Amino acid sequence: MSNILLSAHDLTVRFGGVLAVNGVSFEVRQGEVFTLIGPNGAGKTTVFNLISRIYTPTSGYLDYQGQRLSDVPAHAVAAMGIARTFQNIELFEHATVLQNLLIGLHVHNRIGFWRQMLFTPTVRDAERATRQKVEEVIDFLDLQHYRDTLVAGLPYGVRKVVELARALCTDPQLLLLDEPSSGLNVEETADMAFWIQDIQQDLGITVLMVEHDMSLVSKVSNRVLAMNQGEVLAVGEPAQVQAHPAVIEAYLGGSFNAANLRRKA
Amino acid sequence: MRFIFKTRYDQDIQLAKHSGHVWAYSLLLLLLCLAPWLMEEYWLAQLTFVLIYGIVGLGLMVLAGFTGLFSIGHAAFMGVGAYVAAVLSGHGVSFPISVTMAAGLSAIVGAVVGLPALRVKGIYLGIATLAFGFIVEEGLARWESVTGGNAGIHVKVVSILGWQANSGEKFYAVCLVLAVLCTLAVLNVLRSPTGRAFVAIRDSEISAQSMGIHLAYYKTLSFMMSSALAGIGGALYAHKMQFISPDQFGILQSVDLLLMVVIGGLGSVHGAFLGAIFLITMPQLITLGKDFLPAFIGQAPGLQAVVYGLVLIGFVMFEPMGLYGRWLKIRTWFELFPFYRKGMFKRQKSFQKSDRLK
């Protein structure tokens, strides 16, 4: 449990005059569920976008398994074993669930363009193997029923699961979940909690997630990091963090000094 | 209604999804092979043009329909292919080599034009490709030592190792073979990881990138594939016309090509050929219709452009999936009779939303 998979060192991101993330450092250990919490605009999703290389930090850096992430182009992050979901589902709407999941396996494609164009037996075998892996994920997340349905026609809750499935198809070591329970009803949230636990325990995948639903957070997380206005408030076990005075102040407001909530930069 | 009971993964990998496909496409191929004996010379020539435009349409379909990148200068790639074939066959180069060179050079030009595609999107890419189209047209007109300038250039007949495609029937056979090969190649790419990457880029770039798809590589690849197909189509076009000049590859031709894939149905391989059929038969229908219209409409100049425009507007408004979408609806109506509902295809209105990444 103590091997460090991902570590952030003094991450800072500035968008013009806005300091979105300010000197954030944390470590994600192999095999744990690590959750980022914080009020809206705290910079949680920005941290995610830094890890998946959509943004580049203004200063500071990220290390993943001893490799500097800022040296890696955005499209190569998935091949390193980092998969993610998005807060506002980014699926391929006009494709079926199956096609969406097949794209998840894109990083494992080793066959050149010409052989694909001729559709040689090697390609056919690779396609079968790809499909086999997709079917395993479909079984894992109970998506059999939706396999050939267009994503555009699916309810929100199912799309959330499909996005999780697509991330799992890349065969990741680190899974980034951006608000897995947003827009889900109580039962779907409970299912999501089970799946996150299964992903951690059965598949041995490290999970880093952003989440607002505190019951889900305390149910599945090993450690929690609370952020506000781009800065780290507290790190530790869920109960510790929830009891931390700075966290309570960030969520509920301080009784004495409202100026504390303002951005300092 | 047909229920397909799937027991093997191969059933999803195969091109023919069920026995009905095998029969239908075998019959189509048989009819196409027999066409020289079934059709008059004139209609066979029209069919040849359908095949040629079908190949170019396939290329544009890969780019616009499957990768979501629009090119308003696609006739330029056709022009590059046409001139390569014309010049090389003029030097006595055998057709297989000249058509490969035409495809190759068009692909290289496509890669160069694809470079802005990595930076600009949507309407801006349209403008970039439009400008490119003008550059090529102008270049072909000015480079007189090779292209013969605005006076045009004569194209020799197709010759393959001494065999000459000197009749309409023989040239039709050449076109048919190439059209079938190109279609198979496109279908193969579309069912393999590359094709899925194209569709992923079309639907959500940000998501495609986070799935490990190298946007620059696949966009360039799509451009190259598309322009190579346009080059092949252009080479055949040159041999069919026997005389080419730069103005045949101008903006009007580009618009026709775009019209073809939109009316055929963006995002379907069938659409490329249905669009080609539309593009070739429409002028004939308009000519036939002229006699039945009042003189001030029937004899008015620019009637064809007006009709094309109206048809395009009609398709965009009422049938965004084009002729192929209409066919799907008709087929579904028969399959489900009497249970077809109007709302079944409601979710088709927007076909792409790829402008998400920044």
* Tokens 């007189």 belong to residue: B144
- What pLDDT sits at residue B272? 95
Model pTM score:
0.88
**Cα–Cα distance measured from residue B320 to residue A122, given in angstroms and rounded to the nearest whole number:** 37
Question: Dmax of chain B from CA atoms?
Answer: 66
* Tokens 């999703």 belong to residue: A45
Chain B nearest-CA residue for A74: B209
Chain B nearest-CA residue for A168: B211
Smallest CA–CA separation between A166 and chain B, in Å?
A: 9
Q: Flag if A54 and B197 touch (Cβ within 8 Å).
A: no
- What pLDDT sits at residue A255? 60
Smallest CA–CA separation between B343 and chain A, in Å?
A: 12
Distance of alpha carbon B304 from the chain centroid: 21
User: How high is the ipTM of this complex?
Assistant: 0.85
Residues of A in contact with B3 (CB under 8 A): none
Structural domains in chain A plus CATH codes: 1-81+174-181+204-265 (3.40.50.300), 83-171 (3.40.50.300)
Examine the pLDDT at A260 and tell me if it is beyond 90.
no
pLDDT digits (tens, 9 = 90+) for A187-240: 999 999 999 999 999 999 999 999 988 889 989 999 999 998 888 999 999 888
Average pLDDT over all residues of chain A: 88
Residues of B in contact with A176 (CB under 8 A): none
What 8-state DSSP symbol labels residue A170? T
Instruction: Burial-class residue B116 by CB neighbours within 10 Å (0-12, 13-18, 19+).
Output: middle
pLDDT band, very low/low/confident/very high, at A2 (cuts 50, 70, 90): low
Examine the pLDDT at B200 and tell me if it is beyond 60.
yes
- What pLDDT sits at residue B295? 78
What 8-state DSSP symbol labels residue B140? H
Residues of A in contact with B111 (CB under 8 A): none
Which residue ranges make up each domain of chain B? 33-345
- What pLDDT sits at residue A258? 57
Note whether B318 contacts A: Cβ–Cβ < 8 A: no
Q: Flag if A77 and B212 touch (Cβ within 8 Å).
A: yes
Residues of B in contact with A104 (CB under 8 A): 211
Provide the total of helices (H) and of strands (E) in chain B, helices listed first.
16, 4
pLDDT digits (tens, 9 = 90+) for A113-170: 999 999 999 999 999 999 999 999 999 999 999 988 888 888 888 999 999 999 999 9
Note whether A124 contacts B: Cβ–Cβ < 8 A: yes
Q: Flag if A90 and B191 touch (Cβ within 8 Å).
A: no
Q: Flag if A77 and B208 touch (Cβ within 8 Å).
A: no
Residues of B in contact with A152 (CB under 8 A): 347
Q: Flag if B200 and A86 touch (Cβ within 8 Å).
A: no
β-strand partners of A82: A174
**Cα–Cα distance measured from residue B63 to residue A132, given in angstroms and rounded to the nearest whole number:** 30
CB B278 within 8 A of CB B334: no
Pick the CATH number of B33-345 from 2.60.120, 1.10.3470, 1.10.1060, 1.10.10: 1.10.3470
- What pLDDT sits at residue B58? 96
Q: Flag if B192 and A111 touch (Cβ within 8 Å).
A: yes
Note whether B17 contacts A: Cβ–Cβ < 8 A: no
